Amino acid sequence: MAVSVDPPAVTQKHLTKTGWTYTFLADPEAKVVRLYDLQHDVGGGKIISRPAELLIDPTGTVRWVDLTDDFRVRTRPETVLGVFDRLAGGAR
């Protein structure tokens, strides 16, 4: 599940283009981004989210997190899947 400050219409356009089907949430006022202390002021009064990935278990506990130190470099899907297989023991 992904969160950004994009309004739903922008995200819908992007999903139509890419064909991605997982859940994308809209946080245009960066409320949840701030709640998670991931806000990044990019100037001009615009607050966006820094890239961040969290793996959360069914009790709501963070089991793995990646706050990249370079916004060009993001977690790759196979990394998260590898961590999940290790932590959840094949519960997928």
Partner 1 sequence: MERTRNFLPLAGLLVCLVGFLSYFFVFYQFPVTRDLPWVSWLLFALGLGLVVIGVRRPFRQPERYRGRRLGPVLALLSLFVVGFFVFATTVASRQLPASAGAPKVGQQVPDFVLPDSAGRPVRLYDLLGAKAGGSGPASWVVLIFYRGYW
Least distance between partner 1 and beta carbon 19 (Å)? 13
Least distance between partner 1 and beta carbon 44 (Å)? 11
DSSP assignment of 26-55, as one string?
Answer: E-TT-HHHHHTT-EEE-STT-EEEPPEEEE
With a CB cutoff of 8 Å and minimum separation 6, the contacts of 68 are 50, 51, 52, 74, 75
Q: State which residue, 19 or 23, has the beta carbon closest to partner 1.
A: 23
Least distance between partner 1 and beta carbon 47 (Å)? 10
Q: Where on the chain is the footprint of partner 1 (CB under 8 A)? A: 1-6, 8, 10-12, 14-15, 23-27, 31-33, 35-41, 46, 48-65, 67-74, 76, 80, 84, 88, 91
The radius of gyration computed from the CA coordinates of the chain, to the nearest angstrom, equals 15
